[in-house]
A and B are shown apart, each in its own frame.
Chain A
């Protein structure tokens, strides 16, 4: 069973703060890592798919890095805005089975104006 851990579980920041959170996974048998953003009452929306050690991806004020050797990925949000409030999920396919995608519990971010 693939264990995908996300920390912290929740985070409260002020508007304008930069923040980051972590997705941890077993470093053996890595294939790919997905990041999703999930706003309340909406559906999850894909942010990034990362496959290579050292990968860095960026979308606006959100960026992510990947370290497959030590088994973690960081998601950064620069200058948080209230509209960034959401749950951020990471997910991995176990053993390269790309049909399956096992999700972490998510980090819920609240940005106060």
Chain B
């Protein structure tokens, strides 16, 4: 059981470039989430999904898109990266009304 995995672990982008972060879970969880962590801001929810084919906005969705085409995968896209999106991104999954299981994080630096 790998739990929640994230790809890549670290990435450097130039302003305006695009990229996709991949999250995968092998626990058959219905719910998946993307959070970002910034100094002094704690963990903030970007987008989440309560099932395959469904997504919803979190606290800070602007500048990001997500897709949940398969139950085990949740993709986070940045169409045109900005320096303000420099952050550590955490994916998580859970059953409904249950604790979140977090992935190891992706460090993103936008220059």
Contact = CB atoms under 8 A, between A and B. Distances in A.
Given A103-B43, A104-B42, A106-B42, A43 B103 contact: yes
Given A46-B100, A46-B101, A89 B43 contact: yes
A68 B110 CA distance: 42
A34 B43 CA distance: 14
Which 4 interchain pairs have the tightest Cβ spacing? Answer: A46-B99, A43-B102, A103-B43, A105-B42
Given A89-B43, A101-B100, A102-B45, A43 B90 contact: yes
B31 A99 contact: yes
B63 interface: no
A89 B102 CA distance: 13
A66 to B, nearest CB: 15
A43 B104 contact: yes
Interface in B67-100: 90, 96-100
Nearest to B101: A46
Interface in B32-91: 33, 40, 42-45, 48-50, 56, 58-59, 90
A36 B100 CA distance: 9
